[in-house]
Structure formats: structure tokens, C-alpha cells
Homo-oligomer: A and B are copies of this chain.
Amino acid sequence: MTLYKAPLDDQRFALFDVLGAEAILTKLQGGEGHTRDLLDAVLEEAGKLSEVVLAPTNAPGDEEGCHFDKATRTVTTPKGFKDAFRQFSDGGWAGLTMAEEFGGQALPSVMGIATSEMFQSGNLAWSLYPLLSEGACHALELHGTQEQKHTYLKPIVAGRWTGTMCLTEPQAGSDLGLLKTRAEPGPDGSYKITGTKIFISAGDHDLAENILHLVLARLPDAPAGSRGISMFIVTKYKLKADGSLGERNNAYPGAIEHKMGIRGSATCVMNFDEAEGYLIGQPHKGLAAMFTMMNAARLSVGLQGLALSERALQNSLNYARERLQSRSLSGPKFPDKPADNLLVQPDVRRMLLAQRAFVEGSRALIMYAALQTDIEARGADEAARQHASELLAFLIPIAKGVVTELAQECTKEALQVYGGHGFIVENGVEQFVRDARIITLYEGTTGIQAADLLGRKILQLKGVGLQYFLAEIGAFCKAHAADEALRPYIGTLGALAKEWGELTLKLAQRIQSNPEELGAAANDYLYYSGYITLAYFWARAVAAVEKSTQQAEFKQAKRDTAAFYFARILPRTHMHKAAIEAGVETLPAIA
């Protein structure tokens, strides 16, 4: 059984001390009430739910997995999932950030992120059910008619229904333009949806009374490719005129996948056989509509990397404290015990500090991005909203791409601290490694994030987000130029920010003469950007810790981790720079 303790101190440090969230949130439109006191209380409640209800279901849920009954075509989730979902719904968590009009609590997005981090740490597989619902809510909010919102949004916000996103088909993964599912208009305004979707998280389950599927499909007159895709609402049970549940719709799971991890999450093959559906948004604009939800979805998956890494770190740190093995290199530190603990080994501390640096740096990055979501939606003026929107768009591929990749390293190092015991299922840490393996794949692989960052956010959007971010780093460096605590970092950070801008310009020129250079550089550019981004947030953490009211030990840990990050992790930018500059000729054709 693995530990989990909600990291409230660290969350609050990132949110309030490093990022100054209270000042930002209370100045937003409708944000007057979002004081630290209120938000603190929300975090605490989410922490309890995560620790007490969700965390204990994690390992048993993995062991049991979901079950698919062929005869009835129904999916059963592991023991405890249903009860946890009921408690989650009863607590009002399903509508935490949704409008009050539809039953939500209208709290800031960053609170959705902060609480979701804890739910995901508690049980990642379980947390996918509410996560997919959240995506459906966003789509309905942005693209649904008022009637659709009242009909479909309310029951999801209340936690009576859940949602899905039905995109992928066997031949259409990263390339949705290849999808084949058809929608035939009926005489009554409804459509008949026919096709097979795969990898549908929460496609069927026993947690809720109904499921709303958002299905991408082609209308009969649709142009080929990605410009001919529309979005449809298909509910598991059709609705009667009064909104109550009617007959079963012809949208059934055909199988569930046997997966490496997140085994408590039902990943369904979904068969739509003339299923009744309704158009949402404009015809042929389904892919664009889906992309409007993408920022939130990708940020949530980056968050999954943070959530898994946090729990893996907690457990490996605990193991390193308790496991007695060998002696310190400079002589026994616990002479009265048969051996010293693992923490006396510098190499074990290296593994733990790397995890800490990634976890806490990632948390600041993700919460910062989430704050941009809130500013984008409710900023004081158009300029502020636009600024936040550009920053957010720029940071999303970094938050998704880099944090999920760092989670591979974090969970791997956590397991490594356990030695051979890490490989044993009952010790629990190997599940984090398996669960983490999905997050660099879904919601766009790391390759897709890298291409999005360099191709779209830098080249197509002319690097506006990067410019804003570099300006912010520059202003920070200037403001703290004389700050003693930041002396070891400001020079490095400033120089790297400058290099980042220059490297980007050169790279953009090279890509202009050969578009293949984009693919050759994108992955290393993503990592390069990520490491500098985390360096900025670690520098901010050092600046913030001086003023923090936390205990001395907490503050020292932040300073130590920042020093570790700058000395031992940040030099990775060199190798990525070298790889970026190596060019496409180092990636010749493979037969």
C-alpha cells in the first residue's frame, strides 16, 4: 500500500507565494470572493477526499481492473470506484469550475487544477472519469445552444452523468483527418451516427446513470480531410421530452483494452450503429471545436504527470528514510542501527532531489498556466485577456509535453530508489511507472506537442507567446538583479532566456528554407524550452521563499532544490541545443 498525503503546503506555496494567485484572482471579473481563505478551505477538502477516499482505491483498482460483459455489453469498474464517484459528486466537485447557472460553483480554473492534482494523485485511473466529463462540459459551454446546455450540461455538473470524447478510430489517431464515422441527417433534426471509435476513456462504466459522448463524424456533404468533420452529441440513453432517460441508444462498447496501466479506467472500443445524435456547433467545424477544449485537456494531462510524480516522490522519500542498508561513505551516521538509511547516500539524494525539482517546478508551471486560463476568461480588459491567451497557448505544449516526459523520469527514479523491491507489485511504486506511460501518448503524443510548440506556437503565431514569456523572465531578472538569494541564478537565467530567443530565430529561418527542419528540431526544442521554463519558476520560488511564513526547514528545502536544479539539471539545455543545431541531415531516411 503506497502513501499519499495531500501536498497542501507545497500547493499553497506555489499558488500563493510563488504565483501570487490571490491578488490575481480577486481582481478578475466576478473574482472578489476568491480569497485565499476560501481557496485554502477548498484545497483542504479536496485533500481529504483524495487521501481518505481515492488513494486507497488506487492499487486495488489496478489489480482488479475493469470488466466487460459481452452478453450485456456493459463495463463494470473496480470495487470502490462507484462509491468514490458518488462522494465526489455529492461534494460538488464535478461542477467546481462550472457556471452557477448550470449548478456549478464558478471557482477559478486554477482551483480545478489544484484539486484535480490531488484527485489524480489519489487514483489516476479513477480520475479519468471526471476528467472526461470536464472536457464534455467545456465543449457544451463553448459550442452548445442554450437548450443543449440546460439539457446536457446540468446532469454532468451534478455528477449524475459523465462525458466522453470520441475522436480516435483505428486508422485515425494523430491524424484525425482520416476518420470515417458517418452522420446521416434524419427528418427530425437528429442524425444517425455510424462508425467505430477506439481508445474511448470512460466509454462505458457503472458510475453514472447516463453517458454523453461527443463524437466526431462526417456529414454526407463533408469535404475530405480535417475540414469535413462535425461534432455530435450521442447519449448512452436517449432522452424523453421531459429530459428523463428513455431507451438505450445504439452506442455500445464492443470491448475494453487490456492496458499496461490505468487499468481501472475503462478504455473502450465504441460501436455506433445508427445511433441517435445531435449536431453541436457548426457543420464541418467539429475539429476546431474539439481544439477549443484541447488546452484544458492537455493541461490536465500534464497535471497527471505532476500528480503521479508527487505520489511516487512521497513514497520513494519515505522508503529512503526507512530502508537501512550499507553505511555512509564518510562513516556510520546511525551507528546504533545495523546500517544507515538510504538518505545518507548522495546518489539517492540525487534521485530524490531530481524528483522534487521536477515535481515542484512542474506544479508552478501548471498552476501558472491555469491562472492564464482564468485571466483569459475573466481578465479586467481585453489586453490582459489577450496576453494571457497567448501565454497559455504557448505554454500548453510545454506543460503537457515536458511535464509528462519528466514524469517518466520521476516515476523511474522513484522505483530505482526501492532497488529490487520496486519491481514487486505489492510495493506499489511500479504502478506509478505503468500508469505514467500513457500520459506521453494520449491527448497528443510528445511528438505532437513538440510540433505544436515549434510549428504552431512559434512559427504560425510568430512566437508572440514566447516573446511575452521572455519579457516576463527579463522583467523578473531585472527586478531581482540585486537580490542576494538569487545571485547564483539570475545571470544563468537571463543568459538562457537570451539564448532561447536567438536560437528560436535562427531555427525559424532554417525551417523556412526546409520544413523538414521543424520535425528534426521540435523534440529537443520542446525539452530545451521546458528546462528554461522550470528554471524560471525555480528562480521565482527562491524569490518567494524569502518572504514565506513557512518553517525554516521548508524554506531550506526550496533553496536546496533550486540550487540542485540549476547546477545539475539545467545544463541539459546544452545537449538539446546541440541536437537542435545538428539539423535534419543527422536524421536521414531509414529504409
Q: Interface readout for A393-416 with B: 1 if CB under 8 Å, 0 if not?
A: 000000000000000100010011
A347 CB, nearest partner CB in chain B, Å? 5
Q: Which of A174, A178, A423, A441 has the most CB of B within 10 A?
A: A423
* A352 CB within 8 Å of chain B: yes
Q: Which residue of B lies closest to A352 (CB)?
A: B590
Q: A421 contacts which chain B residues (CB < 8 A)? A: 173
* A426 CB within 8 Å of chain B: yes
Q: Does the CB pair A437–B433 fall under 8 Å?
A: yes
Q: Which of A574-588 contact B (CB under 8 A)?
A: 574-575, 578-579, 582, 584, 586-588
Q: Interface readout for A500-539 with B: 1 if CB under 8 Å, 0 if not?
A: 0000000000000011101110111000000000000000
Complex CA–CA separation, A528 to B523 (angstroms)? 22
Interface-located stretch among A189-197, A256-264, A473-481? A256-264
Q: Which residue of B lies closest to A198 (CB)?
A: B420
Q: Does the CB pair A523–B423 fall under 8 Å?
A: no
Q: Does the CB pair B572–A330 fall under 8 Å?
A: no
21 contacts between A and B (CB under 8 A): A174-B326, A175-B325, A178-B325, A178-B339, A199-B420, A259-B423, A259-B424, A259-B430, A260-B433, A260-B434, A317-B590, A328-B516, A329-B516, A347-B451, A349-B590, A419-B445, A423-B438, A567-B586, A568-B578, A568-B582, A574-B574
* A450 CB within 8 Å of chain B: yes
Partner of A173 from the list B415, B419, B557 (CB cut-off 8 Å) is B419
* A380 CB within 8 Å of chain B: no
Complex CA–CA separation, A329 to B456 (angstroms)? 13
Q: A430 contacts which chain B residues (CB < 8 A)? A: 259-260, 437
Q: Does the CB pair B419–A347 fall under 8 Å?
A: no
Q: A173 contacts which chain B residues (CB < 8 A)? A: 325, 419-421
Q: A199 contacts which chain B residues (CB < 8 A)? A: 420
Partner of A579 from the list B442, B516, B568, B588 (CB cut-off 8 Å) is B568
Partner of A437 from the list B415, B519, B564 (CB cut-off 8 Å) is B415
* A422 CB within 8 Å of chain B: yes
Q: Does the CB pair B424–A441 fall under 8 Å?
A: no
Supposing A346-B520, A349-B590, A350-B520 touch, asked if A572 and B571 sit within 8 A by C-beta, the answer is no
Q: Does the CB pair B420–A437 fall under 8 Å?
A: no
Partner of A329 from the list B324, B519, B553 (CB cut-off 8 Å) is B519
Partner of A324 from the list B171, B519, B588 (CB cut-off 8 Å) is B171
A589 CB, nearest partner CB in chain B, Å? 8
A222 CB, nearest partner CB in chain B, Å? 16
Q: Does the CB pair A590–B353 fall under 8 Å?
A: yes
Binding site for B on A (CB under 8 A): 168, 171-175, 178, 199, 257-261, 317, 320, 324-326, 328-330, 338-339, 343, 345-350, 352-353, 408, 412, 415-416, 419-426, 430, 433-434, 437-438, 440-442, 445-447, 450-451, 514-516, 518-520, 522-524, 553, 557, 560, 563-564, 567-568, 571-572, 574-575, 578-579, 582, 584, 586-591
In the complex, given contacts A346-B587, A564-B586, what are 20 additional A-B residue pairs having Cβ atoms less than 8 angstroms apart? A173-B419, A174-B419, A175-B325, A178-B338, A258-B426, A260-B434, A328-B516, A329-B516, A329-B518, A330-B516, A346-B516, A346-B584, A347-B520, A347-B523, A349-B589, A353-B587, A408-B412, A416-B447, A563-B586, A574-B575
Main secondary structure of the interface of A (DSSP, over half): helix
Complex CA–CA separation, A345 to B325 (angstroms)? 47
Q: Does the CB pair A567–B590 fall under 8 Å?
A: no
Q: A574 contacts which chain B residues (CB < 8 A)? A: 571, 574-575, 578
Complex CA–CA separation, A417 to B258 (angstroms)? 19
Q: Does the CB pair B572–A588 fall under 8 Å?
A: no
Q: Does the CB pair B326–A175 fall under 8 Å?
A: yes
Q: A426 contacts which chain B residues (CB < 8 A)? A: 258
Q: Which residue of B lies closest to A526 (CB)?
A: B347
Q: A415 contacts which chain B residues (CB < 8 A)? A: 437
Q: Which residue of B lies closest to A418 (CB)?
A: B441
A305 CB, nearest partner CB in chain B, Å? 14
Q: A345 contacts which chain B residues (CB < 8 A)? A: 447, 519
Q: Does the CB pair B425–A441 fall under 8 Å?
A: no
Q: A437 contacts which chain B residues (CB < 8 A)? A: 415, 423, 430, 433
Complex CA–CA separation, A441 to B423 (angstroms)? 8
A223 CB, nearest partner CB in chain B, Å? 15
Complex CA–CA separation, A516 to B445 (angstroms)? 40
Q: A518 contacts which chain B residues (CB < 8 A)? A: 329, 346
Supposing A434-B260, A450-B347 touch, asked if A515 and B329 sit within 8 A by C-beta, the answer is yes
Complex CA–CA separation, A133 to B125 (angstroms)? 41
Q: Does the CB pair B578–A575 fall under 8 Å?
A: no
A479 CB, nearest partner CB in chain B, Å? 26
A203 CB, nearest partner CB in chain B, Å? 14
A566 CB, nearest partner CB in chain B, Å? 9
Complex CA–CA separation, A442 to B442 (angstroms)? 32
Q: Does the CB pair B423–A260 fall under 8 Å?
A: yes
Q: A353 contacts which chain B residues (CB < 8 A)? A: 587, 590
Partner of A258 from the list B178, B349, B425, B564 (CB cut-off 8 Å) is B425
Complex CA–CA separation, A571 to B260 (angstroms)? 33
A523 CB, nearest partner CB in chain B, Å? 5
Complex CA–CA separation, A527 to B199 (angstroms)? 38
Q: Does the CB pair A568–B590 fall under 8 Å?
A: no
Supposing A338-B178, A571-B575, A574-B575 touch, asked if A346 and B582 sit within 8 A by C-beta, the answer is no
